[in-house]
């Protein structure tokens, strides 16, 4: 099924909130038409682990680890997103 909408969820040390955020997108009637990219900016808490759990359970989610993305140019971040997307296809 073609994706109708891509949602990018930036995440940095949000272990208290990431579950509620991701649960808000888990509506099985529309989930297949969504592409959800979780961009972890080098969290030091369990944000990445929690996001990885969702990625395993729902293959429509993609977790992208980027260390210190705020210090990286936007071209590199976009390239990483595209590479991750191609791997899933």
Residue 61 three-state SS: strand
Residue where the block lists tokens 């930036």: 10
Evaluate if pTM is beyond 0.75: no
CA 1 to chain centre: 19
With vertex at residue 73, the alpha carbon angle to CA 49 and CA 9, rounded to the nearest 5 degrees, is: 35
What's 72's DSSP letter?
S
Q: What are φ and ψ of residue 11, in 5° steps?
A: -140, 130
What's 68's DSSP letter?
T
pLDDT digits (tens, 9 = 90+) for 5-41: 888 888 889 999 999 998 888 877 777 778 788 888 7
pLDDT digits (tens, 9 = 90+) for 35-70: 788 888 778 899 989 988 888 888 777 766 665 555
């Amino acid at each position: 099924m073609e994706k109708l909408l891509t949602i990018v969820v930036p995440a940095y040390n949000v272990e208290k909130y990431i579950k509620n955020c991701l649960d808000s997108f888990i509506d099985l009637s529309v989930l297949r038409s969504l592409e959800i990219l979780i961009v972890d900016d080098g969290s030091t808490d369990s944000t990445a682990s929690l996001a990885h759990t969702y990625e395993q359970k729902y293959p429509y989610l993609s977790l992208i680890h980027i260390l210190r993305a705020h210090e990286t140019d936007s071209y590199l971040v976009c390239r990483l997103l595209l590479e991750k997307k191609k791997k899933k296809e």
